[in-house]
Amino acid sequence: MLIGLAAILIAITFVVLVAFLIPAVIEIRKSAITLREFTVNAENELKPVLHELQNTLTELKGLVEVTAARTAELRSFAEALGDTGRNLRTINSVVGRVAGMLANTSAWAVGAKAAGKMILESLSKKRKEG
């Protein structure tokens, strides 16, 4: 009798277990199907996006290469511009010195001219007086 009761209890437990496991297995199966569909859809949608991303990265790489080349040209231009600025500063300094020398020379020339004029006037007065 104890064995019979244990067998009935095992049978009831098995029926309850099967009653709960069948819906769980059905839900797991539905979830697996949904997950498979989602994976296929995601793959189909991601392929064009990844392809477009790869094209964009290729274009960006080309743009970076062009920019790098332009940067080298710009660096060369900036160096040439700096050299030109230094040369202009040197020329300006030389012109300033020459202008100063000419100003001094002009002052001497004006002074000499005035002195010569005074000497000539003085000599001509002496001749007239004498």
Check residue 59 and give its pLDDT: 93
Q: How confident is the model at residue 130 (pLDDT cuts 50, 70, 90)?
A: low
- Please state the pTM of the whole predicted model: 0.41
For residue 31, how far is the Cα from the chain centroid? 48
Token pair listed for 130? 């004498």
Q: 105-112: long-range contacts (C-beta < 8 A, 24 or more apart)?
A: none
For 57, phi and psi rounded to 5 degrees? -65, -35
Token pair listed for 83? 């050299």
The mean per-residue pLDDT over the stretch 116-130 comes to 75
DSSP state of 130: -
